[in-house]
């Protein structure tokens, strides 16, 4: 059974209340439930963590080495600012899929650049909570093909 680490970055704890016109009404608990159901159908196991602190996310990425087969991450605003998270993902060299609820390329210009994308297997954005579901499916499929 594949073991996937799901990381949620800053402000995602406010989902369902924060800018619903951009991020929708689904809460982080709703997304976790969706991922848990999807993981069962894919014969995978997920572990989730949300943090507003960059160092906590970096530590979780480091700790994933030898424990998880891949990482599904919504880095939130750290997508556009964190070389440190990018370097952590590159350092552990675990297959990673980047996801976003909104289409970052249809938003403000500063959101168009991702430091994470160059070290990720792929990026899925713009499909609301389905971005996570699609990202999990893509990551598990990638890992199964790789092994």
The answer to whether residue 23 is catalytic is yes
Give the domain 2-24+39-146 fold.
Answer: Rossmann fold (3.40.50)
- The pLDDT confidence band at residue 21, using thresholds 50, 70 and 90, is confident
Numbered residues of the known binding site: 74, 80, 87, 101-102, 111
- Share above pLDDT 70 across residues of the chain, in percent, rounded to a whole number: 100
Numbered residues of the known binding site for substrate: 74, 80, 87, 101-102, 111
Q: Model's pTM, two decimal places?
A: 0.94
Domain ranges of the chain: 2-24+39-146
Q: How far is CA 80 from CA 16, 132, 133, 140, in A?
A: 22, 19, 22, 25
Other beta carbons less than 10 A from residue 107's beta carbon = 14
**Using one digit for the tens of pLDDT, what is the confidence trace for 29-40?**
999 999 999 999
**Using one digit for the tens of pLDDT, what is the confidence trace for 83-95?**
999 999 999 999 9
**Using one digit for the tens of pLDDT, what is the confidence trace for 41-81?**
999 999 999 999 999 999 999 999 999 999 999 999 999 99
Q: Is the pLDDT of residue 19 over 80?
A: no
Instruction: Catalytic residue, from 8, 23, 132, 137: name it.
Output: 23
Instruction: Catalytic residue, from 8, 68, 78, 100: name it.
Output: 100
Q: What residue has token string 């995602």?
A: 12
- Share above pLDDT 90 across residues of the chain, in percent, rounded to a whole number: 84
Residues 6+ apart with CB under 8 A from 2: 42, 43, 44, 45, 69, 70, 140, 143, 144
């Amino acid at each position: 059974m594949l073991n996937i680490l799901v990381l949620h970055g800053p402000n995602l704890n406010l989902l369902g209340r924060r800018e619903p016109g951009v991020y929708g009404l689904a809460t982080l608990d709703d997304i976790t439930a969706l991922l848990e159901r999807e993981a069962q159908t894919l014969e995978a196991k997920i572990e989730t963590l949300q943090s507003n602190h960059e160092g906590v996310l970096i530590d979780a990425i480091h700790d994933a080495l030898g424990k998880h087969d891949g990482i599904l991450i919504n880095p939130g605003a750290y997508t556009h600012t964190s070389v440190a998270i990018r370097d952590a993902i590159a350092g552990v060299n675990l297959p990673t899929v980047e996801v976003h609820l909104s289409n970052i390329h249809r938003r403000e210009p500063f959101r168009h650049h991702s430091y994470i994308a160059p070290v990720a297997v792929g990026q899925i954005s713009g499909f609301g909570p389905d971005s996570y579901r699609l990202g999990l499916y893509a990551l598990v499929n990638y890992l199964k093909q790789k092994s």
